[in-house]
Amino acid sequence: MSDTKPRILRSVRLLNAAEKRIETDFIAPPPPTTPLDTAAILKLAHEFQPVAILVTHHSPLKGADVAALPESVKLIATVSVGLDHLDVPALLARGIAVSNTPDVLTDCNADLAMMLIIAACRRAAEYYTLMKKGWGHTLGMDEMLGHRVTGKTLGIIGMGRIGQAVARRARGFEMNVLYHNRRRLDPAHEQGATYYESLEDMLPKCNILSLHLPAAPSGGPIITARMLALLPRGSVLVNAARGALVDETALIDALRSGHLFSAGLDVYQNEPNPDPRILALPNVFMTPHAGSATVETRTAMCMLALDNVTALVAGKPLPTPVTA
């Protein structure tokens, strides 16, 4: 590599600390005022000939997009953990390295999942709506009752970094933690959680079910009408992972029928325009795919992406490489 400052692109404006670092350590166009889509980032890449491109889900690179990247590009650094927007095998086949930003967003994603759990159980969306309308009458002893979180049984699907962090938080609420994962954790990492090899066996025992896994490679949902039916009546579903994991029509039916007491959702099949039927449900607490949306975490994500660029240029191993 050249000893001069590396040329990079970013598809979105990064946080202030990262933008200042770019000004000092890199050569880059001015930050975009709005996120660049794939066509815009490819056009700019051919004009600017960067060694690395920092992307988010706004600018997916798949199939023909990968083939269209200029030869100058040696790294695609996604400012995310998820890789749904990248054709990683195609990028690696072209000799283009890929990096992501794991670990630094674990705690904030787990915090948000706990917020969804508590808000869904305690009818936060309905309480907020009532207050915004002015309240106006005292509630009866049996009116608008939620469910206690403390002591409930929490089922976790996907016991990776974030799933384990949610389990640690759940223990603060004296919850009984069950989990289903591709493989059982080392007992030292289970910290009292009970492993279920069969998801079908775990679901009937869950008061609350929380999802913390990537989208299925097949693209189909794992939470179907059949799976929802296995949950006890009056249970709660939380999804802070990927919208594609849940059959939303089945979810809507379960919420309308009362089979599910409520849901806490941060992700949806059609983002940023969720199904209007979900938006209309009173017993859903919703956030806009904001699991990592804190100053601390987003700054750390930006800096880690830039650390990968710096390592590439220096000929050192990437801090967080993605492999096939």
Catalytic option among 242, 256, 259, 298: 242
DSSP 236-302: EEEE-S-GGGB-HHHHHHHHHHTSEEEEEES--SSSSS--HHHHT-TTEEE--S-TT-SHHHHHHHH
Is 200 an active-site residue?
Answer: no
Is 256 an active-site residue?
Answer: no
Cβ-based neighbour number of residue 246 at 10 Å: 24
SS3 of residue 195 by DSSP: strand
Pick from 76, 56, 58, 54: nearest CA to 10? 54
User: What would the two tokens of residue 242 be?
Assistant: 């990927």
SS3 of residue 52 by DSSP: strand
Written as one letter, the residue type at 102 is P
User: In the block, which residue shows the tokens 């930050």?
Assistant: 31
Catalytic option among 47, 200, 271, 296: 271
Catalytic option among 10, 180, 289, 298: 289
With contact defined as beta carbons under 8 Å apart, do 237 and 184 qualify? no
Is 242 an active-site residue?
Answer: yes
Written as one letter, the residue type at 196 is Y
Angle at 221 between CA 185 and CA 12, to 5 degrees: 85
Cβ-based neighbour number of residue 259 at 10 Å: 16
Q: Which residues share a beta bridge with 178?
A: 155, 194
Active site residues: 242, 271, 289
